[in-house]
Structure 1
Protein backbone atom coordinates (compact mmCIF):
# COMPACT_ATOMS: atom_id res chain seq x y z
CA UNK A 1 0.00 0.00 0.00
CA UNK A 2 2.66 2.63 0.80
CA UNK A 3 4.12 2.21 -2.73
CA UNK A 4 0.67 2.80 -4.27
CA UNK A 5 0.22 5.95 -2.18
CA UNK A 6 3.68 7.15 -3.25
CA UNK A 7 2.84 6.66 -6.95
CA UNK A 8 -0.50 8.46 -6.50
CA UNK A 9 1.29 11.44 -4.93
CA UNK A 10 3.93 11.50 -7.66
CA UNK A 11 1.28 11.21 -10.37
CA UNK A 12 -0.72 14.08 -8.85
CA UNK A 13 2.40 16.27 -8.70
CA UNK A 14 3.37 15.50 -12.31
CA UNK A 15 -0.10 16.27 -13.69
CA UNK A 16 -0.96 19.32 -11.55
CA UNK A 17 -0.83 22.77 -13.16
CA UNK A 18 2.42 24.68 -12.52
CA UNK A 19 0.51 27.50 -10.79
CA UNK A 20 -0.84 25.16 -8.11
CA UNK A 21 2.58 23.57 -7.57
CA UNK A 22 4.14 27.02 -7.23
CA UNK A 23 1.44 27.99 -4.72
CA UNK A 24 2.19 24.92 -2.59
CA UNK A 25 5.95 25.62 -2.68
CA UNK A 26 5.43 29.30 -1.88
CA UNK A 27 3.10 28.51 1.05
CA UNK A 28 5.70 26.09 2.43
CA UNK A 29 8.48 28.69 2.12
CA UNK A 30 6.37 31.29 3.94
CA UNK A 31 5.66 28.91 6.82
CA UNK A 32 9.35 28.01 6.86
CA UNK A 33 10.30 31.60 7.76
CA UNK A 34 7.71 31.76 10.53
CA UNK A 35 5.00 33.88 8.92
CA UNK A 36 1.25 33.39 9.10
CA UNK A 37 -0.64 32.27 5.99
CA UNK A 38 -2.78 35.01 4.39
CA UNK A 39 -5.82 32.72 4.42
CA UNK A 40 -5.68 32.60 8.27
CA UNK A 41 -5.31 36.38 8.76
CA UNK A 42 -8.48 37.91 10.25
CA UNK A 43 -9.74 41.50 10.24
CA UNK A 44 -8.24 43.51 13.12
CA UNK A 45 -5.46 41.00 13.74
CA UNK A 46 -1.81 42.12 13.91
CA UNK A 47 0.15 39.68 11.72
CA UNK A 48 3.42 39.13 9.91
CA UNK A 49 2.94 37.85 6.37
CA UNK A 50 5.35 37.10 3.57
CA UNK A 51 4.95 36.44 -0.10
CA UNK A 52 5.68 37.42 -3.66
CA UNK A 53 4.60 40.82 -4.97
CA UNK A 54 2.22 40.18 -7.89
CA UNK A 55 1.20 43.74 -8.76
CA UNK A 56 2.25 47.26 -7.83
CA UNK A 57 0.02 50.30 -8.41
CA UNK A 58 0.67 53.92 -7.55
CA UNK A 59 -0.97 57.27 -8.05
CA UNK A 60 -3.94 59.27 -6.90
CA UNK A 61 -7.64 58.65 -7.18
CA UNK A 62 -10.21 57.03 -4.98
CA UNK A 63 -8.72 53.52 -5.03
CA UNK A 64 -4.97 54.28 -5.03
CA UNK A 65 -3.89 56.83 -2.44
CA UNK A 66 -0.24 55.87 -2.49
CA UNK A 67 1.59 52.67 -3.40
CA UNK A 68 -0.45 49.48 -3.30
CA UNK A 69 1.14 46.06 -3.82
CA UNK A 70 -0.65 42.73 -3.95
CA UNK A 71 1.34 40.18 -1.93
CA UNK A 72 0.57 36.50 -2.62
CA UNK A 73 1.76 33.68 -0.38
CA UNK A 74 0.28 30.58 -2.02
CA UNK A 75 -2.79 30.54 0.27
CA UNK A 76 -4.21 33.94 -0.65
CA UNK A 77 -3.41 37.55 -1.37
CA UNK A 78 -3.41 40.76 0.66
CA UNK A 79 -3.24 44.30 -0.66
CA UNK A 80 -0.49 46.26 1.10
CA UNK A 81 -0.91 50.03 0.88
CA UNK A 82 1.58 52.72 1.86
CA UNK A 83 -0.40 55.96 2.00
CA UNK A 84 1.13 59.19 0.74
CA UNK A 85 3.99 57.52 -1.13
CA UNK A 86 4.68 57.87 -4.85
CA UNK A 87 7.02 54.88 -4.97
CA UNK A 88 8.95 52.57 -2.67
CA UNK A 89 12.41 51.41 -3.77
CA UNK A 90 12.57 47.62 -3.92
CA UNK A 91 8.81 47.02 -4.03
CA UNK A 92 8.65 45.48 -7.49
CA UNK A 93 6.69 42.71 -9.15
CA UNK A 94 8.22 39.32 -8.38
CA UNK A 95 10.03 40.50 -5.22
CA UNK A 96 9.69 38.45 -2.03
CA UNK A 97 8.71 40.61 0.97
CA UNK A 98 7.73 40.29 4.62
CA UNK A 99 5.14 42.74 6.01
CA UNK A 100 3.88 43.35 9.55
CA UNK A 101 0.69 45.25 10.30
CA UNK A 102 -3.01 45.08 11.11
CA UNK A 103 -5.38 43.37 8.67
CA UNK A 104 -8.37 45.29 7.36
CA UNK A 105 -10.93 44.54 4.69
CA UNK A 106 -11.83 46.82 1.77
CA UNK A 107 -14.33 45.74 -0.89
CA UNK A 108 -14.05 42.14 0.30
CA UNK A 109 -10.25 42.07 -0.10
CA UNK A 110 -7.79 41.85 2.80
CA UNK A 111 -5.66 44.98 3.09
CA UNK A 112 -2.86 46.25 5.30
CA UNK A 113 -2.11 49.99 5.57
CA UNK A 114 1.39 51.37 6.16
CA UNK A 115 2.98 48.12 7.35
CA UNK A 116 6.56 47.63 8.39
CA UNK A 117 8.23 45.74 5.58
CA UNK A 118 11.39 43.83 4.88
CA UNK A 119 12.74 43.07 1.43
CA UNK A 120 13.89 39.46 1.43
CA UNK A 121 16.98 38.63 -0.58
CA UNK A 122 15.90 35.23 -1.83
CA UNK A 123 12.93 33.86 -3.66
CA UNK A 124 11.23 30.66 -2.60
CA UNK A 125 12.11 27.66 -4.76
CA UNK A 126 9.92 27.81 -7.84
CA UNK A 127 9.00 24.96 -10.16
CA UNK A 128 10.41 25.61 -13.60
CA UNK A 129 9.85 23.64 -16.79
CA UNK A 130 10.93 20.04 -16.29
CA UNK A 131 11.80 20.23 -12.57
CA UNK A 132 9.96 18.11 -10.05
Structure 2
Protein backbone atom coordinates (compact mmCIF):
# COMPACT_ATOMS: atom_id res chain seq x y z
CA UNK A 1 0.00 0.00 0.00
CA UNK A 2 1.37 3.44 -0.90
CA UNK A 3 0.47 7.07 -0.34
CA UNK A 4 0.18 7.64 -4.08
CA UNK A 5 3.75 8.76 -4.55
CA UNK A 6 5.85 7.07 -7.19
CA UNK A 7 8.53 6.01 -4.73
CA UNK A 8 6.06 3.95 -2.71
CA UNK A 9 7.38 5.32 0.58
CA UNK A 10 4.85 6.73 3.03
CA UNK A 11 5.00 10.47 3.58
CA UNK A 12 7.26 11.23 0.63
CA UNK A 13 4.65 13.55 -0.89
CA UNK A 14 4.52 15.73 2.24
CA UNK A 15 8.32 16.01 2.40
CA UNK A 16 8.47 17.02 -1.26
CA UNK A 17 5.62 19.51 -0.75
CA UNK A 18 7.51 21.14 2.14
CA UNK A 19 10.79 21.23 0.22
CA UNK A 20 12.45 18.66 2.49
CA UNK A 21 14.86 16.03 1.22
CA UNK A 22 13.75 12.43 1.08
CA UNK A 23 15.06 10.25 3.90
CA UNK A 24 15.06 6.49 4.38
CA UNK A 25 11.75 5.04 5.60
CA UNK A 26 11.22 5.52 9.31
CA UNK A 27 10.73 2.71 11.76
CA UNK A 28 7.08 2.07 12.61
CA UNK A 29 5.50 3.82 15.58
CA UNK A 30 5.12 1.37 18.43
CA UNK A 31 2.51 3.34 20.37
CA UNK A 32 2.67 4.17 24.04
CA UNK A 33 3.00 7.32 26.10
CA UNK A 34 5.51 9.87 24.73
CA UNK A 35 6.58 10.79 28.27
CA UNK A 36 7.44 7.19 29.11
CA UNK A 37 9.48 6.53 25.96
CA UNK A 38 12.11 9.22 26.38
CA UNK A 39 13.09 11.96 28.76
CA UNK A 40 11.92 15.41 27.76
CA UNK A 41 14.68 17.67 26.48
CA UNK A 42 14.85 21.45 26.54
CA UNK A 43 13.73 22.98 23.28
CA UNK A 44 16.97 25.00 23.11
CA UNK A 45 18.82 21.66 22.84
CA UNK A 46 16.68 20.43 19.92
CA UNK A 47 18.79 20.42 16.79
CA UNK A 48 19.31 18.02 13.95
CA UNK A 49 22.28 15.83 14.73
CA UNK A 50 25.06 14.77 12.37
CA UNK A 51 23.22 11.50 11.82
CA UNK A 52 20.13 13.36 10.58
CA UNK A 53 16.73 14.01 12.00
CA UNK A 54 16.37 12.75 15.52
CA UNK A 55 13.32 11.91 17.58
CA UNK A 56 12.79 14.28 20.51
CA UNK A 57 10.30 14.58 23.33
CA UNK A 58 9.59 18.07 24.65
CA UNK A 59 7.24 19.56 27.20
CA UNK A 60 5.97 23.12 27.26
CA UNK A 61 3.06 25.52 26.98
CA UNK A 62 1.30 26.35 23.74
CA UNK A 63 1.78 30.08 23.17
CA UNK A 64 -0.06 30.43 19.87
CA UNK A 65 -2.23 28.25 17.66
CA UNK A 66 -3.37 29.09 14.16
CA UNK A 67 -4.40 27.73 10.81
CA UNK A 68 -2.29 28.07 7.69
CA UNK A 69 -1.99 26.42 4.32
CA UNK A 70 0.96 24.42 3.03
CA UNK A 71 0.91 23.75 -0.67
CA UNK A 72 -2.80 24.58 -0.79
CA UNK A 73 -3.65 22.12 2.00
CA UNK A 74 -4.78 23.02 5.54
CA UNK A 75 -2.36 22.80 8.44
CA UNK A 76 -2.66 23.60 12.12
CA UNK A 77 0.44 25.32 13.52
CA UNK A 78 1.28 25.89 17.17
CA UNK A 79 4.22 27.40 19.01
CA UNK A 80 5.42 25.42 22.04
CA UNK A 81 7.45 27.26 24.69
CA UNK A 82 9.34 25.56 27.54
CA UNK A 83 11.07 28.67 28.89
CA UNK A 84 14.34 27.90 27.13
CA UNK A 85 13.14 28.44 23.53
CA UNK A 86 10.17 27.87 21.24
CA UNK A 87 9.42 25.12 18.75
CA UNK A 88 6.90 25.03 15.90
CA UNK A 89 4.51 22.11 15.79
CA UNK A 90 2.52 21.49 12.61
CA UNK A 91 -0.31 19.02 12.06
CA UNK A 92 -0.82 18.57 8.32
CA UNK A 93 -4.36 18.21 6.99
CA UNK A 94 -5.96 19.64 10.15
CA UNK A 95 -7.73 22.93 10.76
CA UNK A 96 -8.27 22.34 14.47
CA UNK A 97 -7.72 19.71 17.16
CA UNK A 98 -9.78 19.58 20.35
CA UNK A 99 -7.72 20.83 23.30
CA UNK A 100 -4.96 22.37 21.20
CA UNK A 101 -5.28 25.96 22.39
CA UNK A 102 -3.02 28.72 23.74
CA UNK A 103 -2.09 28.28 27.40
CA UNK A 104 -2.38 24.49 27.34
CA UNK A 105 0.57 22.39 28.59
CA UNK A 106 1.55 19.42 26.48
CA UNK A 107 4.22 16.83 25.81
CA UNK A 108 5.07 16.28 22.14
CA UNK A 109 7.25 13.61 20.58
CA UNK A 110 8.38 13.36 16.99
CA UNK A 111 11.12 13.60 14.43
CA UNK A 112 12.82 17.00 14.46
CA UNK A 113 13.00 18.77 11.09
CA UNK A 114 14.78 21.99 10.16
CA UNK A 115 12.44 23.99 7.93
CA UNK A 116 13.04 27.60 6.90
CA UNK A 117 15.67 28.02 9.60
CA UNK A 118 13.46 26.79 12.45
CA UNK A 119 13.06 23.48 14.23
CA UNK A 120 9.67 21.90 13.57
CA UNK A 121 7.81 18.77 14.66
CA UNK A 122 5.37 17.62 11.96
CA UNK A 123 2.40 15.49 13.07
CA UNK A 124 3.91 14.63 16.47
CA UNK A 125 2.49 12.26 19.01
CA UNK A 126 1.30 14.37 21.89
CA UNK A 127 -0.25 14.30 25.33
CA UNK A 128 -2.26 17.24 26.65
CA UNK A 129 -1.70 17.86 30.34
CA UNK A 130 -4.81 18.47 32.49
CA UNK A 131 -5.68 22.13 32.92
CA UNK A 132 -4.21 23.65 36.09
CA UNK A 133 -1.19 21.28 36.33
CA UNK A 134 2.32 22.56 35.76
Q: Could you say which residue in structure 2 is the equivalent of 1:117? A: 126
Structure 2 regions of 5+ residues with no counterpart? 1-38
- In the other structure, the counterpart of 1:101 is 110
Partner Cα distance (2:65, 2:75) in 1: 10
Counterpart in the other structure of 1:42: 47
The structure whose Rg is larger is 1
User: Counterparts of 1:123 and 1:80 in 2: how far apart (Å)?
Assistant: 21
CA contact (8 A) 1:95 1:123 kept: no
Q: CA RMSD in A?
A: 2.1
| Bigger relative contact order (CA 8 A; separation at least 6) | 1
Whichever structure has more helix as a proportion of its residues is 1
Q: Distance in 2 between matches of 1:69 and 1:58?
A: 9
Instruction: Provide the TM-score with structure 2 as the length reference.
Output: 0.62
Contact 1:68 1:79 in 2 (8 A): yes
Number of residues paired by the alignment? 92
Do 2:73 and 2:93's aligned partners in 1 also have CA atoms closer than 8 Å?
no
Q: Distance in 2 between matches of 1:65 and 1:45?
A: 26
TM-score (normalizing by structure 1)? 0.63
